[in-house]
Amino acid sequence: MKIQAYLAFDGNCQEALNFYGDLFDAQVQNRITYKDQKIDVPNSFRDKLQHAELKGKGVHFMAYDAAPDTPINSGNQVHMSVDVNDEDKAREVFKTLSDQGITHHEFREREWGMFGRCTDKFGINWMVNAKK
């Protein structure tokens, strides 16, 4: 299991990653835009980042531009992302985290694998992933 930070931006993710990359001597990797994704976002948003990672010596975090239907505010810009190798374990982790909290996206199959997003009972945002 691997847990790391996932930052949400309001349309300026690429600019932020360039800034942090220069500062921390890190590179943007695994850059995916909304362009060819089967997600309901406006055409003007298609060039925004659906996912990217910043990696360097001692630096590794993920980031994305939140879709227009997910307003960014001070408090939901950081998510903890959990990658689990076993789908059943991932489902259990998601169920435990979402219990007494808020489920934003049910844990179900997505284009990249199994995924769910929730806010736990302590107000911490979580994304739980499992490969197909």
d(CA 131, CA 89): 12
d(CA 117, CA 102): 9
How many distinct structural domains can be found in the chain? 2
| 60, 92: one domain | no
Give a yes or no: residue 128 inside a domain.
Answer: yes
Report CA Rg, the chain. 15
| Cα 6 off chain centre by | 5
| 14, 51: one domain | yes
pLDDT for the residue numbered 45: 86
Give a yes or no: residue 77 inside a domain.
Answer: no
pLDDT for the residue numbered 109: 95
| 60, 96: one domain | no
Q: Which domain holds residue 8?
A: 1-72
The reported pTM is 0.76
Give a yes or no: residue 129 inside a domain.
Answer: yes
Give a yes or no: residue 79 inside a domain.
Answer: no
| 64, 102: one domain | no
| CA angle, 101 then 106 then 41, to 5° | 110
Question: For the chain (length 132 residues), average pLDDT per consecutive 10?
Answer: 92 93 94 86 89 94 90 84 93 95 96 93 91 80
Picking from 36, 16, 10, the residue whose alpha carbon sits closest to that of residue 28 is 16
